[in-house]
Amino acid sequence: MTLKIITHPVFALHPVPMGHPERPDRIRTVWQAIEAGFSDIDQLEAPLADQEAIALVHDVRYLEYIASSEPGEEEGLNTLDGDTHMGFHSLEAGLRAAGGAVLGVDQVMTGQADRVFLAARPPGHHAEPDRAMGFCLFASAAIAAQHARVNYGLTRVAVLDFDVHHGNGTQAAFWKDGDLSFASSHQMPLFPGTGALDETGVGNIHNAPLRAGSDGAYVTQVWEDYLIPKIRAAKPELILISAGFDAHSRDPLANINCEAEDFGRITTMIRQLAEDVAEGRIVSLLEGGYDLEGLRSSLTAHLTALS
Protein backbone atom coordinates (compact mmCIF):
# COMPACT_ATOMS: atom_id res chain seq x y z
CA MET A 1 0.00 0.00 0.00
CA THR A 2 1.36 3.41 -1.01
CA LEU A 3 1.48 6.36 1.41
CA LYS A 4 2.28 9.87 0.20
CA ILE A 5 2.80 13.09 2.15
CA ILE A 6 1.62 16.53 1.03
CA THR A 7 3.07 19.72 2.51
CA HIS A 8 4.46 23.16 1.58
CA PRO A 9 7.04 25.61 3.01
CA VAL A 10 4.40 28.35 3.40
CA PHE A 11 2.86 26.44 6.30
CA ALA A 12 5.75 27.66 8.48
CA LEU A 13 5.14 31.28 7.41
CA HIS A 14 1.56 31.67 8.69
CA PRO A 15 2.15 34.00 11.68
CA VAL A 16 0.47 34.03 15.09
CA PRO A 17 0.94 36.20 18.19
CA MET A 18 3.79 35.50 20.59
CA GLY A 19 2.90 32.61 22.88
CA HIS A 20 0.09 31.32 20.63
CA PRO A 21 -0.14 27.51 20.78
CA GLU A 22 -0.69 27.06 17.02
CA ARG A 23 2.83 28.27 16.22
CA PRO A 24 5.13 27.59 13.26
CA ASP A 25 7.28 25.28 15.41
CA ARG A 26 4.45 22.75 15.15
CA ILE A 27 4.89 22.19 11.43
CA ARG A 28 8.67 22.24 11.75
CA THR A 29 8.37 19.46 14.34
CA VAL A 30 6.17 17.50 11.93
CA TRP A 31 8.72 17.90 9.15
CA GLN A 32 11.51 16.76 11.48
CA ALA A 33 9.53 13.65 12.42
CA ILE A 34 8.91 12.87 8.76
CA GLU A 35 12.59 13.32 7.90
CA ALA A 36 13.65 11.13 10.82
CA GLY A 37 11.35 8.20 10.15
CA PHE A 38 9.68 8.52 6.77
CA SER A 39 12.17 10.19 4.44
CA ASP A 40 11.61 7.49 1.81
CA ILE A 41 7.94 8.44 1.37
CA ASP A 42 7.12 10.54 -1.69
CA GLN A 43 6.26 14.15 -0.88
CA LEU A 44 4.06 16.40 -2.99
CA GLU A 45 3.62 20.17 -2.86
CA ALA A 46 0.23 21.39 -1.69
CA PRO A 47 -1.43 23.51 -4.39
CA LEU A 48 -3.68 26.50 -3.84
CA ALA A 49 -7.35 25.59 -3.58
CA ASP A 50 -9.38 27.49 -6.15
CA GLN A 51 -12.58 29.38 -5.48
CA GLU A 52 -14.67 26.48 -6.80
CA ALA A 53 -13.20 24.10 -4.21
CA ILE A 54 -13.64 26.52 -1.31
CA ALA A 55 -17.24 27.18 -2.42
CA LEU A 56 -18.07 23.50 -1.91
CA VAL A 57 -18.38 24.38 1.79
CA HIS A 58 -17.95 28.15 2.22
CA ASP A 59 -19.98 30.97 0.73
CA VAL A 60 -18.09 33.05 -1.83
CA ARG A 61 -18.62 36.10 0.40
CA TYR A 62 -16.79 34.27 3.16
CA LEU A 63 -13.79 33.66 0.90
CA GLU A 64 -13.83 37.34 -0.03
CA TYR A 65 -13.91 38.25 3.66
CA ILE A 66 -10.93 36.03 4.46
CA ALA A 67 -8.99 37.33 1.46
CA SER A 68 -9.65 40.93 2.48
CA SER A 69 -8.62 40.24 6.09
CA GLU A 70 -4.99 39.43 5.31
CA PRO A 71 -2.75 42.40 6.23
CA GLY A 72 0.19 43.55 4.17
CA GLU A 73 3.74 42.40 4.81
CA GLU A 74 4.52 45.30 7.15
CA GLU A 75 1.10 45.56 8.84
CA GLY A 76 1.32 42.98 11.62
CA LEU A 77 -1.61 40.72 12.45
CA ASN A 78 -5.36 40.99 11.94
CA THR A 79 -7.52 39.29 14.59
CA LEU A 80 -10.60 37.43 13.33
CA ASP A 81 -11.58 36.24 16.80
CA GLY A 82 -9.81 35.75 20.12
CA ASP A 83 -7.99 32.66 18.86
CA THR A 84 -7.75 33.15 15.11
CA HIS A 85 -5.35 35.55 13.42
CA MET A 86 -4.12 36.40 9.95
CA GLY A 87 -0.85 37.88 8.84
CA PHE A 88 1.06 38.07 5.61
CA HIS A 89 1.15 34.52 4.10
CA SER A 90 -1.92 33.36 6.11
CA LEU A 91 -4.25 33.37 3.12
CA GLU A 92 -1.81 31.33 1.04
CA ALA A 93 -1.29 28.88 3.90
CA GLY A 94 -5.04 28.44 4.36
CA LEU A 95 -5.65 27.97 0.65
CA ARG A 96 -2.80 25.47 0.35
CA ALA A 97 -4.10 23.55 3.38
CA ALA A 98 -7.45 23.19 1.62
CA GLY A 99 -5.74 22.57 -1.71
CA GLY A 100 -3.58 19.87 -0.17
CA ALA A 101 -6.69 18.10 1.10
CA VAL A 102 -8.18 18.23 -2.40
CA LEU A 103 -4.94 16.90 -3.90
CA GLY A 104 -4.95 14.09 -1.36
CA VAL A 105 -8.38 13.02 -2.57
CA ASP A 106 -7.18 13.21 -6.18
CA GLN A 107 -4.24 10.97 -5.34
CA VAL A 108 -6.28 8.20 -3.73
CA MET A 109 -9.19 8.39 -6.17
CA THR A 110 -6.92 8.06 -9.22
CA GLY A 111 -4.90 5.22 -7.71
CA GLN A 112 -1.66 7.18 -7.41
CA ALA A 113 -1.66 6.52 -3.66
CA ASP A 114 -3.66 4.40 -1.26
CA ARG A 115 -3.23 6.77 1.67
CA VAL A 116 -2.16 10.38 2.00
CA PHE A 117 -1.10 12.48 4.96
CA LEU A 118 -1.42 16.26 4.70
CA ALA A 119 1.11 18.09 6.90
CA ALA A 120 -0.39 21.57 6.93
CA ARG A 121 -1.28 24.53 9.10
CA PRO A 122 -3.49 26.32 9.93
CA PRO A 123 -5.82 23.46 10.89
CA GLY A 124 -9.38 23.38 9.57
CA HIS A 125 -11.99 21.46 11.53
CA HIS A 126 -13.32 24.44 13.54
CA ALA A 127 -13.97 26.64 10.48
CA GLU A 128 -17.71 26.79 9.91
CA PRO A 129 -19.26 27.54 6.50
CA ASP A 130 -19.52 31.26 7.36
CA ARG A 131 -17.08 31.71 10.23
CA ALA A 132 -13.37 31.36 11.02
CA MET A 133 -12.64 30.17 14.54
CA GLY A 134 -10.37 28.03 16.68
CA PHE A 135 -7.18 28.80 14.68
CA CYS A 136 -8.96 27.63 11.47
CA LEU A 137 -9.69 29.47 8.22
CA PHE A 138 -11.09 26.85 5.83
CA ALA A 139 -12.81 23.54 6.60
CA SER A 140 -10.33 21.39 4.69
CA ALA A 141 -11.75 17.97 5.62
CA ALA A 142 -15.29 18.98 4.65
CA ILE A 143 -14.01 20.54 1.40
CA ALA A 144 -12.15 17.31 0.58
CA ALA A 145 -15.27 15.24 1.24
CA GLN A 146 -17.39 17.34 -1.08
CA HIS A 147 -14.64 17.37 -3.72
CA ALA A 148 -14.68 13.57 -3.71
CA ARG A 149 -18.41 13.50 -4.28
CA VAL A 150 -18.59 16.23 -6.91
CA ASN A 151 -15.55 15.19 -8.94
CA TYR A 152 -15.41 11.41 -8.50
CA GLY A 153 -19.05 10.46 -8.16
CA LEU A 154 -18.80 9.08 -4.64
CA THR A 155 -21.97 8.99 -2.60
CA ARG A 156 -20.75 8.24 0.92
CA VAL A 157 -17.74 9.87 2.60
CA ALA A 158 -16.77 9.86 6.27
CA VAL A 159 -14.59 12.10 8.43
CA LEU A 160 -13.17 10.53 11.59
CA ASP A 161 -11.85 13.11 14.07
CA PHE A 162 -9.76 12.19 17.12
CA ASP A 163 -8.62 15.74 17.90
CA VAL A 164 -9.32 16.54 21.56
CA HIS A 165 -11.49 19.50 20.49
CA HIS A 166 -14.78 18.82 18.74
CA GLY A 167 -14.75 19.44 14.98
CA ASN A 168 -17.72 21.79 14.97
CA GLY A 169 -16.96 23.07 11.47
CA THR A 170 -17.05 19.62 9.91
CA GLN A 171 -20.20 18.80 11.83
CA ALA A 172 -21.89 22.01 10.64
CA ALA A 173 -20.99 21.28 7.02
CA PHE A 174 -22.35 17.70 7.26
CA TRP A 175 -25.36 18.36 9.50
CA LYS A 176 -28.17 17.90 6.96
CA ASP A 177 -26.51 15.44 4.57
CA GLY A 178 -27.08 11.82 5.49
CA ASP A 179 -24.45 10.54 3.07
CA LEU A 180 -21.66 12.42 4.84
CA SER A 181 -20.74 10.77 8.14
CA PHE A 182 -18.83 12.39 10.99
CA ALA A 183 -17.42 10.60 14.04
CA SER A 184 -15.58 12.44 16.80
CA SER A 185 -14.06 11.74 20.19
CA HIS A 186 -13.29 14.89 22.18
CA GLN A 187 -13.04 16.22 25.70
CA MET A 188 -16.22 17.85 26.95
CA PRO A 189 -16.72 20.40 28.37
CA LEU A 190 -14.00 22.12 26.36
CA PHE A 191 -13.71 24.53 23.42
CA PRO A 192 -15.74 24.92 21.22
CA GLY A 193 -18.59 23.70 23.43
CA THR A 194 -20.26 21.51 20.81
CA GLY A 195 -20.20 17.74 20.37
CA ALA A 196 -22.82 16.46 22.80
CA LEU A 197 -24.04 12.91 22.43
CA ASP A 198 -27.46 14.10 21.25
CA GLU A 199 -26.04 16.16 18.36
CA THR A 200 -26.82 13.65 15.63
CA GLY A 201 -27.69 15.66 12.50
CA VAL A 202 -29.88 13.40 10.37
CA GLY A 203 -28.43 10.31 12.03
CA ASN A 204 -25.04 10.82 10.38
CA ILE A 205 -23.25 12.58 13.27
CA HIS A 206 -21.67 10.41 15.96
CA ASN A 207 -20.13 12.21 18.93
CA ALA A 208 -18.31 10.60 21.83
CA PRO A 209 -17.66 13.25 24.50
CA LEU A 210 -14.88 12.29 26.92
CA ARG A 211 -14.52 13.30 30.54
CA ALA A 212 -11.38 15.13 31.56
CA GLY A 213 -8.80 12.63 32.80
CA SER A 214 -9.86 9.82 30.46
CA ASP A 215 -6.91 7.61 29.57
CA GLY A 216 -5.80 6.14 26.28
CA ALA A 217 -7.26 2.71 26.97
CA TYR A 218 -10.70 4.24 27.40
CA VAL A 219 -10.40 6.45 24.30
CA THR A 220 -9.34 3.51 22.10
CA GLN A 221 -12.21 1.46 23.51
CA VAL A 222 -14.65 4.23 22.58
CA TRP A 223 -13.38 4.07 19.00
CA GLU A 224 -13.43 0.28 18.85
CA ASP A 225 -16.83 -0.25 20.47
CA TYR A 226 -18.80 2.81 19.35
CA LEU A 227 -17.38 5.09 16.66
CA ILE A 228 -15.81 2.55 14.28
CA PRO A 229 -19.00 0.42 14.17
CA LYS A 230 -21.10 3.53 13.47
CA ILE A 231 -18.93 4.45 10.49
CA ARG A 232 -18.72 0.84 9.30
CA ALA A 233 -22.52 0.75 9.13
CA ALA A 234 -22.47 3.84 6.89
CA LYS A 235 -20.16 2.06 4.38
CA PRO A 236 -18.15 5.12 3.29
CA GLU A 237 -16.33 4.91 -0.02
CA LEU A 238 -13.57 7.22 1.24
CA ILE A 239 -12.32 7.94 4.76
CA LEU A 240 -10.84 11.25 5.84
CA ILE A 241 -9.10 11.65 9.20
CA SER A 242 -8.94 14.88 11.17
CA ALA A 243 -5.70 13.89 12.89
CA GLY A 244 -5.28 16.05 15.95
CA PHE A 245 -2.79 14.90 18.57
CA ASP A 246 -3.85 17.19 21.42
CA ALA A 247 -5.43 14.33 23.35
CA HIS A 248 -1.85 13.44 24.30
CA SER A 249 -1.15 13.50 28.03
CA ARG A 250 1.49 16.23 27.60
CA ASP A 251 -0.76 18.64 25.69
CA PRO A 252 -1.35 22.00 27.44
CA LEU A 253 -4.82 22.71 26.01
CA ALA A 254 -6.75 19.72 27.32
CA ASN A 255 -6.78 16.94 29.90
CA ILE A 256 -7.02 13.59 28.11
CA ASN A 257 -4.24 11.12 28.80
CA CYS A 258 -3.51 9.37 25.53
CA GLU A 259 0.03 8.33 24.65
CA ALA A 260 1.58 7.99 21.21
CA GLU A 261 0.77 4.29 20.96
CA ASP A 262 -2.93 5.03 21.47
CA PHE A 263 -2.97 7.16 18.33
CA GLY A 264 -1.28 4.26 16.55
CA ARG A 265 -4.00 1.87 17.73
CA ILE A 266 -6.83 4.18 16.67
CA THR A 267 -5.19 4.72 13.27
CA THR A 268 -4.80 0.96 12.81
CA MET A 269 -8.53 0.54 13.47
CA ILE A 270 -9.32 3.21 10.91
CA ARG A 271 -6.94 1.64 8.39
CA GLN A 272 -8.64 -1.74 8.80
CA LEU A 273 -12.04 -0.09 8.41
CA ALA A 274 -10.89 1.60 5.19
CA GLU A 275 -9.58 -1.70 3.84
CA ASP A 276 -12.92 -3.35 4.60
CA VAL A 277 -15.30 -0.74 3.18
CA ALA A 278 -13.41 1.95 1.22
CA GLU A 279 -10.83 0.05 -0.85
CA GLY A 280 -8.19 1.19 1.63
CA ARG A 281 -8.57 4.87 0.68
CA ILE A 282 -7.57 7.29 3.46
CA VAL A 283 -6.66 10.97 3.45
CA SER A 284 -5.40 12.17 6.84
CA LEU A 285 -5.17 15.87 7.67
CA LEU A 286 -3.13 17.36 10.50
CA GLU A 287 -5.30 19.26 12.98
CA GLY A 288 -4.18 20.04 16.57
CA GLY A 289 -1.35 18.96 18.84
CA TYR A 290 0.41 21.68 20.81
CA ASP A 291 3.12 19.97 22.86
CA LEU A 292 5.99 19.43 20.46
CA GLU A 293 7.27 16.20 21.99
CA GLY A 294 3.77 14.76 22.16
CA LEU A 295 3.11 15.86 18.59
CA ARG A 296 6.33 14.27 17.31
CA SER A 297 5.80 10.89 18.94
CA SER A 298 2.08 10.74 18.16
CA LEU A 299 2.58 11.67 14.52
CA THR A 300 5.25 8.98 14.21
CA ALA A 301 2.83 6.38 15.55
CA HIS A 302 0.11 7.63 13.20
CA LEU A 303 2.28 7.51 10.08
CA THR A 304 3.67 4.10 11.06
CA ALA A 305 0.12 2.74 11.26
CA LEU A 306 -0.81 4.34 7.93
CA SER A 307 2.29 3.03 6.17
- Say what the alpha-carbon torsion angle 305, 273, 253, 11 is, to the nearest 10 degrees: 60
Distance of CA 16 to the CA centre of its chain: 19
How far is it, in rounded angstroms, from Cα 65 to Cα 265?
40
Specify whether 126 is catalytic. Answer: yes
Are the beta carbons of 111 and 139 closer than 8 angstroms? no
Burial, 249: exposed, middle or buried (Cβ in 10 Å; 0-12, 13-18, 19+)?
Answer: middle
Q: Which of 58, 125, 126, 147 is catalytic?
A: 126
Q: Where are the alpha helices (DSSP H) in 116-239?
A: 140-152, 168-174, 216-222, 228-234
Q: At what angle do helices 260-277 and 292-306 cross, to 10 degrees?
A: 30
Give the largest Cα separation in the chain, rounded.
52
Q: Which residues contact 74 (CB under 8 A, 6 or more apart)?
A: none
Q: Which residues are catalytic?
A: 126
